[in-house]
């Protein structure tokens, strides 16, 4: 018998001028699922139910054994059902109460608490928007979001610049990881995460945000699974991404055996299973389907036009050891086994001139919706400017170089990333500058820093919730290959901007003002206030759980150039 409870509270997705989607999840299919709403909850709409197709658990899932039993060596499918009700006929500026109701297969009626929904805000309405990224069940995430709720109260939306969880097909990371800090519980105020600092243990619950405010997200590298396997753990499958072009070539060599009928669906499924996919992410969220099926999109929200390209690549270790499938080399044992190559930090969705995504971006930046927006914001995952680790090497297709012996046998397979071919800096940023974008929001390196271009465009990386990769200035240096042809910057922003010193209360180190926060003790969140056109950033020192949240930086998103 399926368990009889809601896996999540309902949450809001994809508001328009008169509609909004209400979504929730259950561990049972149920017989009916409804959203009731209105001043007196007098209206109702039946939800559409679908089943997540790739959610699984494995031996290292943190999950109550009563749900699936003791985990064996290999992943097992976990049944989870998604319910979505479309609320229509909404009036601009008017919030309405709502609740979700699911009827279990045994006839039991299960109701959520009451929350409020609304269509997209009208122009001129003041909004407070949480800017965040890279939660990934990191240690300070529940504390971070709890402090958002305690400091700001309710927010009007969340802009999330990727890396929502760590392994996207591991269901418990979204819903019920028993460490108490899964994705949905944290953002719905139902977390139960113990954080121990300086000998003091504090339990954090997150905050109830997305039940009443829509979440808009960008695809990060942690929303993308690698090659499917029934015998590899989920972590290995996540790490096993393989370029789609290489999988296509493998398919063509074996097509007569794999797919003798020539069925197009069989072909697509085989290539997907042998390369990478973001199916679970796409099935969980309701984002604009055209043209990128939610992987890239644009949407208007109040005075904001939010443009969300898919700019992310496979993260691989910088380690140069013979046993590492890294960003700069293949493992020695794989030299004569191309099917096992990782192909370095390959890019998941092209954004070079002429690619579908690039042409969409150019069209969007010239669209009436974008041009008339008061605030123009672009959000993606990979950093264009950062003092963090993950901005190196350049965001470009890896150039494979095979060093061979006299007999032609491979000695080493390595990858280089020519800096002059960085697609973000060479191709994307000039478009954004010309379009007078106000703010570029991103993540990936798990720290806070911000920049301003010579033409006045603002850049913000606000992704510090624990497990930072550090900041690289002064004596702190990134690990980069010592003898490769391209230049790999060991310190600072490799793309030439100086980080801004926080305007209100910068931290200090060795009596020097720090232009960043990169800490596993101090967590940061940022709030965009559209009434004042400012982004305010706050920090909280988790070593002192009774301390105040400190506003340490504030800047205007209006272009300064």
Q: Which of residues 85, 101, 120 is at a domain's end?
A: 120
CA–centroid distance for 202 within its chain = 27
Question: Are residues 98 and 88 part of one domain?
Answer: yes
Question: Are residues 513 and 463 part of one domain?
Answer: yes
Do residues 441 and 378 lie in contact, with contact meaning Cβ atoms separated by under 8 Å?
A: yes
Report the domain count for the chain. 2
> How does pLDDT run across 307-343, given as a tens digit for each residue?
999 999 999 999 999 999 999 999 999 999 999 999 9
For residues 50-55, give the mean pLDDT.
98
Question: Are residues 134 and 82 part of one domain?
Answer: no
For residues 346-358, give the mean pLDDT.
97
Output the pLDDT for position 8: 98
Q: Which of residues 79, 95, 120 is at a domain's end?
A: 120
Question: Are residues 291 and 151 part of one domain?
Answer: yes
Residue 545 is assigned to a structural domain of this protein: yes
When mean pLDDT is compared across 61-65, 300-304, 486-490, 526-530, the lowest value belongs to: 486-490
> How does pLDDT run across 138-187, given as a tens digit for each residue?
999 999 999 999 999 999 999 999 999 999 999 999 999 999 999 999 99
Say yes or no to pLDDT of 355 above 60: yes
What are the residues facing 403 on neighbouring strands?
412
Residue 330 is assigned to a structural domain of this protein: no
Task: Determine the Cα–Cα distance for residues 487 and 245; give it in Å rounded to an integer.
Answer: 27
Question: Are residues 217 and 82 part of one domain?
Answer: no
Say yes or no to pLDDT of 561 above 60: no
pTM: 0.97
Question: Are residues 165 and 145 part of one domain?
Answer: yes
What are the residues facing 538 on neighbouring strands?
525, 551
Task: Determine the Cα–Cα distance for residues 2 and 123; give it in Å rounded to an integer.
Answer: 45
Name residue, tokens 């049944």.
79
Q: Which of residues 85, 120, 155 is at a domain's end?
A: 120
Instruction: For residue 517, give the DSSP letter.
Output: B
Residue 31 sits in a domain whose CATH number is: 2.60.40.10
Say whether the peptide bond before residue 510 is cis (omega within 30 degrees of 0).
no
Residue 268 is assigned to a structural domain of this protein: no
> How does pLDDT run across 262-296, given as a tens digit for each residue?
999 999 999 999 999 999 999 999 988 878 788 99
Residue 75 is assigned to a structural domain of this protein: yes
Do residues 543 and 197 lie in contact, with contact meaning Cβ atoms separated by under 8 Å?
A: yes
- Which pairs with CB-CB distance under 8 Å and at least 24 residues apart come from 515-518? 515/387, 515/449, 515/473, 516/387, 516/447, 516/448, 516/449, 516/471, 516/473, 517/447, 517/448, 517/449, 517/464, 517/552, 518/388, 518/446, 518/447, 518/448, 518/464, 518/468, 518/469, 518/470, 518/471
Question: Are residues 194 and 116 part of one domain?
Answer: no
Question: Are residues 177 and 39 part of one domain?
Answer: no
Output the pLDDT for position 294: 86
Output the pLDDT for position 148: 98
Residue 211 sits in a domain whose CATH number is: 3.60.21.10
Residue 170 is assigned to a structural domain of this protein: yes
Output the pLDDT for position 64: 86
Reference 150, options 545, 439, 552, 554; nearest CA is 545
- Reported as a pLDDT band with limits 50, 70 and 90, residue 69 is confident
Question: Are residues 101 and 170 part of one domain?
Answer: no
% pLDDT > 70, the chain? 99
User: DSSP of 216-262, one letter per residue?
Assistant: EE---GGG-B-S--SSS-HHHHHHT---HHHHHHHHHHHHHHH-TT-
Residue 237 is assigned to a structural domain of this protein: no
For residues 43-52, give the mean pLDDT.
98
User: DSSP of 281-330, one letter per residue?
Assistant: HHHH-----TTTTTSSEEEEETTEEEEE----B--------TT---SSB-
For residues 77-94, give the mean pLDDT.
96
Residue 339 is assigned to a structural domain of this protein: no
Task: Determine the Cα–Cα distance for residues 522 and 517; give it in Å rounded to an integer.
Answer: 8
Output the pLDDT for position 126: 97
Do residues 61 and 71 lie in contact, with contact meaning Cβ atoms separated by under 8 Å?
A: yes
Question: Are residues 148 and 128 part of one domain?
Answer: yes
Where b means 16+ CB within 10 Å and e means fewer, 197-224 reads: beeeeeebbbbbbbbbbbbbbbbbbbbb
| The length of the chain, given as a count of residues | 561
Output the pLDDT for position 464: 82
Mean pLDDT of the chain: 95
Tell me how crowded residue 552 is: count the other CB atoms within 10 A of its CB.
19
For residue 387, the number of C-alpha atoms closer than 13 Å in the C-beta half-sphere is 25
Do residues 473 and 518 lie in contact, with contact meaning Cβ atoms separated by under 8 Å?
A: no
Q: Domain range spanning residue 109?
A: 1-120
Task: Determine the Cα–Cα distance for residues 281 and 303; give it in Å rounded to an integer.
Answer: 27
Structural element, H or E, at residue 273: helix 264-273
Q: What SS3 class is residue 506?
A: coil
- Integer CA distances (angstroms), 181 to 162, 194, 223, 354, 466, in order: 17, 9, 17, 42, 13
Say yes or no to pLDDT of 386 above 60: yes
Reference 438, options 362, 554, 534; nearest CA is 534
Residue 317 is assigned to a structural domain of this protein: no
Q: What is the separation, in whole angstroms, between the first and last Cα of the chain?
A: 63
Question: Are residues 112 and 131 part of one domain?
Answer: no
Question: Are residues 446 and 306 part of one domain?
Answer: yes
């Amino acid at each position: 018998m399926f368990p009889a409870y809601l896996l999540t509270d309902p949450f809001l997705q994809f508001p328009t001028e008169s509609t909004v989607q209400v979504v929730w999840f259950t561990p049972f299919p149920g017989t009916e699922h409804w959203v009731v709403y209105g001043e007196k909850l007098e209206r109702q709409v039946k939800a559409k139910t679908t089943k997540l197709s790739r959610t699984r658990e494995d031996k290292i899932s943190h999950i109550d054994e009563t749900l699936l039993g003791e985990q064996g060596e290999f992943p097992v499918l976990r049944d989870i059902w998604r319910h979505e009700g479309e609320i229509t006929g909404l009036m601009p500026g008017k919030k309405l109460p709502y609740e979700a109701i699911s009827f279990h297969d045994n006839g039991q009626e299960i109701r959520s608490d009451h929350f409020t929904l609304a269509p997209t805000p009208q122009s001129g309405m003041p909004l407070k928007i949480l800017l965040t990224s890279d939660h990934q069940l990191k240690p300070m995430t529940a504390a971070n979001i709890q402090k958002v709720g305690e400091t700001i109260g309710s927010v009007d939306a969340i802009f999330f610049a990727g890396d929502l969880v760590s392994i996207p097909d591991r269901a418990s990371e979204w819903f019920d990881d028993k460490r108490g800090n899964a994705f949905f519980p944290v953002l719905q105020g139902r977390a139960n995460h113990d954080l121990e600092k300086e000998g003091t243990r504090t339990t954090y619950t997150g905050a109830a945000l997305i039940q009443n405010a829509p979440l808009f997200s960008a695809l990060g590298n942690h929303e993308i699974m690698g090659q499917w396997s029934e015998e590899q753990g989920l972590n290995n499958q996540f790490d096993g991404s393989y370029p789609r072009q290489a999988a296509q070539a493998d398919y063509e060599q074996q097509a007569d055996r794999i797919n003798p009928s020539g069925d197009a669906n069989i072909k697509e499924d085989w290539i997907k299973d042998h390369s990478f996919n973001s199916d679970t992410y796409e099935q969980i969220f309701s984002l604009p389907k055209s043209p990128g099926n939610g992987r890239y999109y644009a949407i208007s929200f109040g005075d904001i036009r939010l443009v969300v390209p898919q700019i992310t690549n496979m993260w691989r270790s910088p380690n140069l050891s013979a046993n590492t499938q890294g960003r700069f080399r293949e493992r020695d044992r794989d030299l004569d086994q191309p099917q096992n190559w990782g192909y370095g930090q390959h890019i998941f969705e092209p954004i070079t001139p002429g690619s579908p995504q690039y042409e969409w971006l150019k069209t969007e930046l010239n669209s009436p919706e974008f041009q008339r927006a008061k605030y123009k914001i672009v959000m993606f995952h990979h950093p264009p400017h950062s003092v963090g680790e993950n901005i190196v090497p350049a965001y470009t297709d890896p150039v494979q170089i095979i060093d061979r012996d006299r007999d032609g046998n491979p000695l080493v397979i390595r990858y280089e990333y020519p800096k002059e071919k960085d697609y973000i800096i060479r191709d994307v940023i000039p478009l954004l500058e010309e379009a007078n974008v106000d703010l570029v929001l991103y993540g990936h390196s798990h720290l806070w820093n911000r920049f301003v271009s010579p033409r006045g465009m603002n850049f913000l990386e606000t992704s510090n919730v624990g497990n930072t990769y550090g900041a690289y200035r002064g004596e702190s240096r990134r690990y980069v290959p010592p003898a490769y042809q391209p230049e790999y910057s060991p310190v600072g922003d490799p793309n030439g901007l100086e980080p801004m010193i926080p305007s209100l209360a910068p931290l200090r180190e060795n009596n020097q003002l720090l232009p960043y926060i990169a800490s596993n003790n101090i967590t940061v969140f940022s709030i965009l206030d559209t009434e004042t056109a400012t982004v305010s950033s706050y920090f909280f020192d988790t070593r002192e759980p009774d301390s105040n949240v400190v506003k340490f930086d504030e800047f205007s998103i209006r272009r300064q150039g």
